[in-house]
Structure 1
């Protein structure tokens, strides 16, 4: 299989070729290896060496033999070192076993070729850790690929991989999807298992899934890996039919609200992002949906204060756990300046602070639940600008402090964290292009367990406003 031929297929297409015997898995893996080797020097999206052979996987899974990569954070595979984007873990700590989701990825047939970069402990809307250097956006090498799943997004956008693992604690699937022109779904809390290491990562904010180039891949992968494991905290009802069927069927007439005001209360929104949302709103109206300008009522200041508590307590706990296990000393030689500041702030929090944050999360969730009783979908920009220049979100900046760093992140990522706080699903789609030729992400959100609504609508928009023909400057083949 030629590398350019490989790059022209999404994951569903490659799986079909392999299943039909038109190409051998080994040929696909060789092409994927050549593709990864071609883009890595320019994008710096992988950490560690590409695997000599893919990790074990089920040949008879729905994605049997399809190339894949795992992000260097939370999810892990047996024997594969994890660095979490931090010098604190040195060259990486080999993990003793698969997480439950990793086992499901293997059962789905995904052939893991390597590990993708993340910012330190995932707390950045850009992926430029001191430990491994910045990931560059394939659309413009001077721009960020987003974070924290920027390594995965850069490789999928450049067509070196059709799909890659990603996770999301404040927008970390959707932000890089928006920056890199991909489909990025954050599923409902509990839809994807986070065990056995976690019950509720990041006080419930953390969600696992992937980034893809097509809506059909997103839906088929969700069909393949959703569901609880024994001991999981949540048990959602199964969908009434496969998510892939929702993509084929499209959406029913929906009540859609849109807003271009950041939920976080931070940040000016680029007029190109505002225009993108308004044009998508017009498109949806022309498709028969009812579209109005409206937004949930929340206390933005209280929301940010609570989210700040969740993140800094998580960083304090993570740093201290890693240091205790490895016998390492957290300091400026092992951690970035803002990670140190956030961890120090997190250590000073009281138990009452976590309960206060939980009260705000509850009030926010109730407000969004009431809103989604009136509307089916909320349409917003994914981020406050199409992307950010490399260096703007420098986690090693010495003078920001903990709250200054939080505010800088969410001045760029002002539209995503609500879905993490509420546990509700949201998806970013590449529905517009900037004057510079960069993709602009547009986000759709819905109420609890309404992935079917989002995927049906996303498929309709993919058909109406297709993006498959767009290619970044760094593209395999």
Structure 2
């Protein structure tokens, strides 16, 4: 299979070619492998290669799922793949080889994908940029001097470059939507517990979900159809969907009430090219017949993030303690990066009362946020305050963690609340900067209402098709 033909198709398109016998799953796999070898040196998106195993899996026959024969990457954080190493982007938290697949990985295999390797992630998935001492910096195929986002930056970089049509990703504070925005992809942060969590412990207080980044809306919807159902024993199962998400994208969303806001936690309005893109989005939605109006969430965002900081720091420290118990030793001085070390030590100083105060305050404020959605269907904001910054400007390894915090705050302002509430939230690559970097817009829906977001996404994809936009690292 010639590579240009491989690049023309999304995941469902490749699977259709395999099903018709026009190409073999082996030919599709070799096209992906060739692409990894050609471009991974510039991107550092794929950090574990499993070519021989993938060839054996294809030779042994694949299940007849919707993505049969489609090459696929697993993020090197949380999800377990039998026989594969797991690093979590850390020099400390090492697993030489996991003994079994996570439930979600089993569902991916049943969908027919061919696992070809693991994608880059920052240490413990902490920052919004994929860069660590362990795995190195992942770069953006639109401009390798710029970040691919985090913490699913490897998945996004590989997908945007055409290495794979979609890839596993996870989102605890924006880690699907931020890389999707940086790299020009579709990134759906799904409803809490819509798919099984992969972490051995609850690594993010229920904030984290697992799904994919993709080049098309239909791939996102079809993969959620294949994987998004209850796991026995889950204590907080998401409400069942009304019907297939793949069917939703062909339906009209009707006239939606869409609130929009450019408010940020620090009170500084989003400006520049992102603000211009936001204004164009508002006018586009009005032109499509939706009722669009400016309205914030009406919450004290500083209080929200203070509460989250207490709860998350204590929880992170507890997770590191589990690694200490597993490995039988404390992390060495050079085994935790600055952000992980700070979080671990800070969490140990937080009292139980403080941690539970933070968690309770989050619960109270979640009610405020969810109540606001009674007056509108969808909430629109930019995903980021700026296009993807330079790799050398946003480096999580810098020793001045307070300066890094300020730089992150100037870049990411809008994604976390949907993680706190558990709502679905979707990044769409509607625009590009004057320098050619993608600019993502974020659409957040009511709890468990991915269907409305997929209908709206289908409408916008037809209005502003992005699938055939190609970054410089592509051919």
Q: Would you call these one fold, judging by a TM-score over 0.5?
A: yes
- For 1:381-420, list aligned pairs within 5 A: 381-400=382-401, 405-420=404-419
- Aligned position for 1:21: 21
Identify the match of residue 163 of structure 1 among 145, 162, 166: 166
In structure 2, the partner of 1:72 is: 76
Taking the aligned partners of 2:63 and 2:19, their CA distance within structure 1 comes to 9
Shift of 1:165: 0.4
Change (3 A) 1:382 1:49: same
Which residues in structure 2 correspond to 1:33-48 (within 5 Å)?
A: 33-48=33-48
Distance 1:187 1:396, change over 3 A: same
- In the alignment of these two chains, the number of paired residues is 471
Query: What does residue 343 of structure 1 align with?
Result: 344
Tell me the TM-score normalised to structure 2 length: 0.96
Structure 1 unaligned residues grouped into runs of 5+: none
- CA distance in 1: counterparts of 2:206 and 2:352, whole angstroms: 17
1:72-221 → structure 2 map (5 Å cutoff): 72-89=76-93, 92-194=95-197, 197-198=200-201, 200-221=202-223
Q: Distance in 2 between matches of 1:387 and 1:428?
A: 14
Distance 2:374 2:211 in 1: 26
**Shift in Å, 1:47:** 1.1
Deviation at 1:226, TM superposition (A): 0.2
TM (norm. structure 1) is 0.95
Distance in 2 (alpha carbons) for counterparts of 1:265 and 1:314: 25
Bigger shift: 172-181 or 41-50? 41-50
Q: Which residue of 1 aligns with 2:321?
A: 320
CA offsets, 1:181-234, max 9 Å, x none?
000000000211115734x43111111111000001111111010011111122
Q: CA deviation at 1:331?
A: 3.5
Contact 1:432 1:439 in 2 (8 A): yes
Shift of 1:86: 0.6
Please say if residues 285 and 291 of structure 1, whose CA atoms lie closer than 8 Å, have aligned partners that are also in contact: yes
Match of 2:292, SS state, is strand
In 1, Cα distance between equivalents of 2:438 and 2:394:
19
C-alpha contact (below 8 Å) 1:44/1:134 kept by paired residues: yes
Tell me the secondary structure at the aligned position of residue 48 of structure 1. strand
SS at match of 2:204: helix
1:414-469 deviations in whole A, cap 9, x for unaligned?
A: 11001101100100000011010111010000110010000100110111111122
Partner Cα distance (2:232, 2:447) in 1: 22
SS at match of 2:92: helix
Q: Is the 8 A contact 1:190 1:233 kept in 2?
A: no
Distance (Å, rounded) in 2 between the aligned partners of 1:267 and 1:161: 38
The 1:97/1:407 distance shift into structure 2, 3 A limit, reads: farther
Q: Which is worse superposed, 317-326 or 409-418?
A: 317-326
8 Å CA contact 2:262–2:269 kept in 1: the answer is: no
| Separation in structure 2 between the aligned mates of residue 250 and residue 180 of structure 1, nearest angstrom | 27
Q: Which runs of 5+ in 2 are unaligned?
A: none
